[in-house]
Structure 1
Amino acid sequence: MSDIILEVADILRPSYLKIARAKKHILDLQREIDAFLGTKPAKLVIRDDRAAGQTIRSVKQNSPVPETISLIIGDAVHNLRCALDLTVFAIVGDKTPSPQSVQFPWAWSPEKLEATLTTRQMRHAGKNVIDAVKALEPYPGGNEAIEAVHRLDITDKHQLILTAVSSAEMTLEEFSRFVPADTYRAQAARPDKRNITLFLTAGSEWTLNYRFKGNRTERRGARSKIAAREYEADVQPTFHICFDTSLPVVGMMPVIDCLVGMTTRIEEACLQIGRAHAADLLGAK
């Protein structure tokens, strides 16, 4: 039994080194993001329009997200993808006549998983390993962490991974700190409206009509007193760096939180496959 434990530990060691490297990249990324957000690259501004009797709130970004952030994200994601590949290669790489085809199997639909297992040489693994891989649901709509890692790794091979400055996810109750609660209505008929969430990204803009009291003459007088000006809002949301909306699975998700979650899930996946291989080795004795 001890020899099996040592063999599995040896199999997982390269994968864990890659995961450790990904964690280091994430720490470096956090420092880069903190430094960038420390420059206050975005702000919530208010523009009063006297003629229209409106106030326009918008998020303005003063400087672009540094490309270094995209580069570090790509490095972290690639290490996570490599961790999966190294795990399965250590198990079947010396058993298949086509080791160059060995890769952690990602299928583009549940129906294609069986064929992908064959293409990626996983039929040379034991039954418990194959069952463990299937249980991970490596296809769209299955394991989101594995899907995110796979898609982002492909994206990083062709272009920089896009990010955006965004506020944190907010409930309507939190949103009312930035906009007077009596000036908007958001799906008020829904009983769960307190759970509706919003993001404020660079370029976000919404218009609110002033509500003047009194007769027509009094309302006109009140409108004429509105100064046409643009100014920074007294209360500012907390901004984060999120994945761009164009990215599947992770769009509008905070980069750091997302990468930390992905790392945990990939580490768990490698361990599950390693344990399954131990079961196969034990059964063969």
Structure 2
Amino acid sequence: MDGSTPQPGFTVKLQRAHFLLSELREAMNGFFRERPYTLEAAEAPNGDLVTRVRVSAEPPLEWSALAGDIVHNLRSALDHVAWALVAEEGQPDEWTCFPITDKERSFGDRARKALRGAPEARQMVRGLSPWRDGNEDLWLLHRLNIVDKHRLLLVVGSASTGIGLRMTFRGFEEGDSPITMDPIVLQPKNIEVPVLDEAVVFRVLAEARKQPADSHFRTDHDVRFDIVFGLDTPAPAAPVGPLLERLLDATEKAIQHLMPRL
């Protein structure tokens, strides 16, 4: 024994979530480096320019388990904090946990049971508004964790999450250097999950392709893909990496809010 003070359980859980999220990010970056989704553009008989996606690989099923482990560690970190909060005022029991509810009106009864004997802790937790309309990230973390207890948080790929448009202005005078404007990202109203091989992901109508020969503008586009949660999860079609980062940030902020009581 080195005599050092052991880390609080919630700190260990947060560290584990950070490690797993870093591992998932690295795996996804490697996946995209292999170019699993490529685009093929061809002119249709009516003159439209049709872009299709070729899908050569799908993300491994293990990523679903990895996402679930990240969610579980974050939710567990909050429960560890709840245990520590109750221990400051009373005696934790088998019902002790961090209360998160669907509706604000349900929170009072849930918190009295989850944080029994710790009225000051209940007030601090209430200050986080841990219900769906108050703190959606904490609520979503809670729901995803419940789903993962019974089935995999299915992670799917080849979801088209946006179209980037770039406009280049070549100048009016001979010798002018072309200027490329910052891209505009258009997000589709409905995200198709998953995008199937050879699916149409972008179409330029024939009329829109007609451009005067002396036009000083050129427009290019690219289709953006991401790894997303499946449609039958509490986070349908949400990109996995950014959402998990958001949930981690919400968990850390919640713990920081409660630290004065610990």
Instruction: Give the TM interval when normalised to the shorter protein.
Output: 0.7 to 0.9
For residues 69 and 140 of structure 1, what CA distance do their matches in structure 2 show?
A: 26
Residue-by-residue CA offset, 1:58-107 (whole Å, 9 max, x unaligned): 334222211121111111111000000011112225934x7111111011
Instruction: Please name the residue that 1:49 is paired with.
Output: 44
Partner of 1:267: 252
- Identify the range of structure 1 (79-88 vs 238-247) with the bigger mean alpha-carbon deviation: 238-247
Q: Which has the higher contact order (CA 8 A, sep 6+)?
A: 1
In the other structure, the counterpart of 1:244 is: 230
Structure having the higher strand fraction is 2
Superposition deviation, residue 123 in structure 1: 3.5
Per the TM alignment, residue 235 of structure 1 is displaced from its structure 2 partner at its CA by 6.1
Quote the residue 2:128 is aligned against: 136
Q: Aligned residue for 1:100? A: 94
**Cα 1:49–1:241, aligned 2, differ >3 Å: closer, same or farther?**
same
Give the equivalent residue in structure 1 for 2:75: 81
Q: What is the one-letter code of the residue matched to 1:30?
A: R
**Residues in 2 aligned to 1:209 and 1:238: alpha-carbon distance in whole angstroms:** 20
Alpha-carbon spacing, 1:101–1:73, altered in 2? closer, same or farther (3 Å): same
Partner of 2:11: 16
Higher helix share: 1
Name the residue aligned to 1:165: 158
In structure 1, C-alpha distance between the alignment counterparts of 2:102 and 2:221, rounded to whole Å = 45
Alignment of 1:87-126 (within 5 A): 87-92=81-86, 95-96=90-91, 99-120=93-114, 122-126=115-119
**Which whole-Å CA distance do the structure 2 matches of 1:236 and 1:207 have between them?**
11
* Cα root mean square deviation, aligned: 3.1
Structure with the greater alpha carbon radius of gyration: 1
Contact 1:37 / 1:239 at 8 angstroms: preserved in 2?
no
The whole-number CA distance in structure 2 between the counterparts of 1:25 and 1:195 is: 30
1:150 lines up with 2:145 in the alignment: no
Residue identity opposite 1:80 in structure 2: L
Alignment-mate amino acid for residue 23 of structure 1 = H
Q: What is the match of residue 30 of structure 1?
A: 25
Identity %: 24
- Number of aligned pairs? 225
Query: TM (normalized to structure 2)?
Result: 0.73
Whether the 8 Å contact between 2:102 and 2:131 is mirrored in structure 1 is yes
User: What letter matches 2:112 in structure 1?
Assistant: T
Gaps of 5+ in 1: 1-8, 178-193, 214-233, 279-285
Any stretches of 5+ residues in structure 2 without a counterpart?
168-183, 210-219
Instruction: Please say if residues 43 and 236 of structure 1, whose CA atoms lie closer than 8 Å, have aligned partners that are also in contact.
Output: no
Change (3 A) 1:212 1:132: closer
Displacement of 1:207 after TM fit?
4.7
Structure 1 CA distance, aligned partners of 2:10 and 2:252? 8
Query: In the aligned structure 1, how far is the partner of 2:27 from the partner of 2:231?
Result: 21
